[in-house]
Amino acid sequence: MTYQPFWFDQAMAEETTSVSSASIDETPYDIAIIGGGFTGLWTAITIKQRAPNTRIVILEKDLCGQGASGRNGGAMLTWSTKYLSLKKRFGESQAKWLVQQSENAVHAISQFAKEHNIDCGLRVDGCYISASNAAQQGVLTPCLNALDAVSLNQWQMVNKDQLKHTGSRQNQHAVFSPHAGSVQPAKLVRGLRRTAIGMGIVISESTRYVSHEKENTPQNEAITVCYSDKSQSIKTLKTEKLLFAVNAWLPRLMPQFSQNVVLVSSDMVITKPMPEKLKTLHLNHGAAVIDSRIFVNYYRTTPDGRLMLGKGGNYFSFANKVSDKFNAPSQYQAELQDSLNYFFGDHGFEIFRTWTGPSDRSVSGFPFFQETDKNVVVAAGYSGNGVVQSYLGGQILASMLLNTNDEWQKCGLVNQNLERFPIEPFRTLGAYVIRNGIRRKERAEDNNLAPSKLDKYLAKLSGAAAKADTH
């Protein structure tokens, strides 16, 4: 079988021996998790590390890694360039802590992969954030100055020789941090699955959540979860606590969150292997390269010599429907080709595949971890920045589900007062008006032209869409 997202297709093709999980049994579970991606797996693993006797079951409607976790760009980024937004939202102390934890997480994920023999092409080679046109020069200065003021700035301005390692003459300036990198995300997910099963966690793939009901009696607070497996028959299990770690699929399963996220595509293209070409471009490393526009261009290489480039902010899903467009080749191949041409000119790269994935964007641009009812928890809103942040989510959710009352459970991302997007059709119509204004503005800047006042105004309405605080 061939899967459209390249990462997942490659991971499954190379998974010669799949580890089987124990089956769901009738004994009540301590924790049931809906969703077998990064968040669900990191949460289950973290709980098992802290409380080994906890009975955990994960229900995954497809295969682990077939959702957003296995189809993203694989860039391991931190929250350091979102420090000003974190500070405004949660205060200086919490912002500093979250930045530090996100940087620590990059290395923790790398160490975990090594300890558990997860071969996922993980390279902690850092990240370059570039100015790919004159208008982007200096936009990070306020954020970097604020990081300097609290002794947290790990970013360094690169010289002309170091700038070559961004692979493109279009990058006029750049800063570099060593606390970042890249990974084959689907291989990491599949490796986490294997590790989780080895720890005694039950993982039931091709198993769809249907509904749940709480007993709500003083003697019995158990939750009954209804699900359907490969047989298509409805079955039930009992659990004390329930976690929804389904990201883009949350609005469908829990409609009360339908205005707290908006689903938008991130579209990617990957080349055939060309290691010698990458070497001449000085791209023989695993660092991520990201420019400083709102709808960023981002690219990275793979250990086998491919170049992957992605761009976010393309397709906005009406009413947050996870449509078939998310499982098809990118419908924005022309835009992806324009980005390749912009950075690499007459490159002659042989394109291997394009794909897309749904990103669940919150109003704040940060994930939220909410207890919706006693013993029922949800996680969502990674906003296109989840490879590293889902590891932090695993720490937070483990503390919430184990009720440890520690710094993870008390952090600002837990039980937030969530802002809401407008109702449909105004949400999607407004999103496209703002998107098109941003595109016109950034196209003008790429051509060293002055954007219109209208497009500059529309760009300011994008809120927290950018991966870095640039205004």
- pLDDT tens for 252-279 read 999 999 999 999 999 999 999 999 999 9
- Decide if pLDDT at 202 tops 80: yes
Reduced to 3 states (helix: H, G, I; strand: E, B; else coil), residue 229 is coil
Q: What is the mean pLDDT of residues 188-192?
A: 98
Name the nearest CA neighbour of 45 among 183, 247, 194, 209.
Answer: 194
- Decide if pLDDT at 470 tops 70: yes
Per-residue pLDDT band for 308 (boundaries 50, 70, 90) equals very high
Over residues 348-375, the pLDDT tens digits come to 999 999 999 999 999 999 999 999 989 9
Backbone φ and ψ for 359, nearest 5 degrees, come out as -110, 130
Over residues 457-468, the pLDDT tens digits come to 999 998 777 778
DSSP H or E stretch at residue 333: helix 333-344
CA separation for the pair 351, 353 (Å, rounded)? 6
pLDDT of amino acid 471: 60
Neighbours of 90 (CB within 10 A): 19
CA separation for the pair 80, 100 (Å, rounded)? 8
CA separation for the pair 225, 241 (Å, rounded)? 10
- Decide if pLDDT at 76 tops 90: yes
Give strand ranges (E) for 41-114: 56-59, 75-76
CA separation for the pair 96, 98 (Å, rounded)? 6
How many residues are present in the chain? 471
Per-residue pLDDT band for 215 (boundaries 50, 70, 90) equals confident
Per-residue pLDDT band for 223 (boundaries 50, 70, 90) equals very high
pLDDT of amino acid 221: 81
Q: What is the mean pLDDT of residues 129-148?
A: 96
- Decide if pLDDT at 1 tops 70: no
Between helices 389-402 and 38-50, what is the axis angle to 10°? 50
Q: What is the mean pLDDT of residues 163-192?
A: 98
- Decide if pLDDT at 231 tops 90: no
Task: Collect all residues with Cβ–Cβ distance below 8 Å to 161 and sequence separation of at least 6.
Answer: none
Backbone φ and ψ for 211, nearest 5 degrees, come out as -170, 175
Quickly list DSSP for 391-419: HHHHHHHHHHHHT--STTTTSTTBS----
Name the nearest CA neighbour of 447 among 362, 342, 345.
Answer: 342
CA separation for the pair 289, 294 (Å, rounded)? 15
What burial class does residue 13 get, using C-beta atoms within 10 Å of its C-beta: 0-12 exposed, 13-18 middle, 19+ buried? exposed
Percentage above 70 pLDDT, the chain: 99
Q: What is the mean pLDDT of residues 130-140?
A: 96
pLDDT of amino acid 244: 98
CA distances from 74 to 71, 223, 330, 428 (A): 8, 35, 17, 27
pLDDT of amino acid 218: 67
Per-residue pLDDT band for 187 (boundaries 50, 70, 90) equals very high
Over residues 46-69, the pLDDT tens digits come to 999 999 999 999 999 999 999 999
Using the structure block, give the residue that is written with the tokens 């002794």: 151
Q: What is the mean pLDDT of residues 311-329?
A: 93
Q: By the 8 A CB rule, do 223 and 376 touch?
A: yes
Rounded-to-10 torsion of CA 49, 51, 53, 58: -70
CA separation for the pair 50, 70 (Å, rounded)? 26
| Average pLDDT, rounded, for the chain | 95
pLDDT of amino acid 469: 78
